[in-house]
Amino acid sequence: MSSTGAAAARAPMLLRLGVPVAGCGAPDVPTDDEITLWMDGRLAEEAPAGSLGAATGRCEAGDAVSRTEGRVVLLLDAAPWVETIQLSCFGEGTADFTVDVAATSGGGGTEATSIAYADVPCGLGVQEEPIAVADVTSVGVTGSGAGGAGAWHAVVIGGKPG
């Protein structure tokens, strides 16, 4: 199989593994090969300092994704401090992200926090957003939007409380 064929074969596999499908606005719709190339590029990048995990997914025109269906969940063993999240998308327009953070509460239970990051511009690089939650056990990421085909990427960054 050629490297192009291998990359194209990986894209549907991401969908079967629970990567959300959502929409990113796009007057000039990127081709499937361009989307796959962008996604492969994000996955091949060296992780930034403090990276606790990353997720990427495809955007399809007109699809909407709920916060609970198809999200990517990163389970964190060490219950770290989650400092920020880096968000980016490919395509024209914007993407909306929902980040669901589960953390251990002082009483031994779990506290859930949902943070919305709306209208993240696609094609303008990485947008870093604060989270600032301690004792995190999982982070769920969902990308959505409206309009056209594209892709999204998120990197969860940890550190020490400051």
Residue 151 has pLDDT above 60, yes or no: yes
Q: SS3 for 98?
A: strand
- 3-class SS of residue 73: strand
Cβ neighbours, 10 Å, residue 127: 14
Sign for the CA dihedral angle at 76, 82, 35, 4 comes to: negative
Helix (H) or strand (E) holding 44: helix 32-44
Backbone angles phi, psi at 4, to 5 degrees: -65, -40
Q: Give the domain range for residue 20.
A: 3-159
φ/ψ of 20, rounded to 5, equals: -65, 150
Q: Is 57 exposed, middle or buried (0-12, 13-18, 19+ CB in 10 A)?
A: buried
C-alpha to C-alpha distance for 106 and 37, rounded to whole angstroms = 44
Percentage with pLDDT > 90 across the chain: 25
CATH for 9? 2.60.120
CA 47 to CA 158: how far, in whole Å?
Answer: 12
Please give the pLDDT value at position 96.
86
Domains identified in the chain, total number? 1
- pLDDT tens per residue, range 78-126: 668 899 999 999 987 888 888 999 888 776 778 888 999 988 888 889 9
Structure tokens at 112: 């859930």
Whether pLDDT at 66 is above 60? no
The predicted model scores a pTM of: 0.74
Name, of 21-35, 51-65, 94-108, 114-128, the range with top average pLDDT: 114-128
Q: What percent of the chain has pLDDT over 70?
A: 69
